[in-house]
Structure 1
Amino acid sequence: MPARRNRVTRGEDYRQTVRAGRRVGGALCITHAVLRSPEDAARFGFIISKAVGNAVTRNLVRRRMKSIVEQRLRNGATGVDVVFRALPAAADAPFAELEREINRALDRVERRQASTETRS
């Protein structure tokens, strides 16, 4: 599990990220991201609704997503708030496919962050 400083925990932070964040769509999840100061720690949140499946299935999807995010944190992700909204297809997807989609979305967010930093 990501450390507390790397988690979106407040409801207001979830709402702000989903409403004002940049959206990256996919077949398995929707990613919302808000860029912050590059010195700030990256924070991640997960929304897994009952449409994904029963509690066992939802927790499996959440654990898989957290595992992928932990790898990104080890690789040095900073300066962004990200909220993942899992879609029902995520319940049946193999880990490798979920990992590929989340990494694709995070790569797009990082490219956006890099282009913003070079303009400043």
Structure 2
Amino acid sequence: MRTGEDFRHTIRRGAKGVQPTLVTHVVPGTGGPTSVGFVVSKAVGSAVDRNRVKRQLRHLMRERVTSLPPGTKVVVRALPSSAGSPSSTLASELDLALSRSGAR
């Protein structure tokens, strides 16, 4: 996901799954490529912290994107508490958020 319009559409129209460290917005797909976008604001921390969180989330979503229906659009928004969270916590909360938003 690369354009602001894709992000806006997914956040406004998607089903929301909320966890203490992240929020997911999911628009179910009807075919085509699945796309995932990440939102990590300055509230998460320094540039080093934000990039670490983005890398962790990208790695975790790479493992889960094959289980999503084709054409699904997902936005993962990291909350400030995600900066200090270990990968195992992010993984379990990502799974819960995706299931709550109807992606799995």
TM-score, normalised by the number of residues in structure 2: 0.90
Could you tell me which residue of structure 2 aligns to residue 80 of structure 1?
72
Could you tell me which residue of structure 2 aligns to residue 10 of structure 1?
3
The one-letter code of the counterpart of 1:89 is S
Q: Using the alignment, how far apart are the partners of 2:79 and 2:67 within structure 1?
A: 27
**Which residue of 39, 43, 54 corresponds with 1:62?**
54
TM-score, normalised by the number of residues in structure 1: 0.79
Does 1 or 2 have the higher relative contact order (CA < 8 Å, sep 6+)? Answer: 2
* Structure 2: gaps (5+ residues): none
Could you tell me which residue of structure 2 aligns to residue 107 of structure 1?
99
Could you tell me which residue of structure 2 aligns to residue 35 of structure 1?
28
The Cα offsets for residues 53-109 of structure 1, whole Å up to 9 and x where unpaired, read as 000000000000000011113x44233101011100000111000000111222332
Identical amino acids, percent of aligned pairs: 38
> What is the CA-CA distance between 1:35 and the residue it aligns to?
1.2
**Which residue of 11, 36, 45 corresponds with 2:37?**
45
**Which residue of 78, 86, 91 corresponds with 1:94?**
86
Could you tell me which residue of structure 2 aligns to residue 24 of structure 1?
17
Q: How many residue pairs were aligned?
A: 102
> What is the CA-CA distance between 1:110 and the residue it aligns to?
2.6
The one-letter code of the counterpart of 1:51 is A
The one-letter code of the counterpart of 1:94 is P
RMSD after superposition: 1.3
Larger radius of gyration between Structure 1 and Structure 2: 1
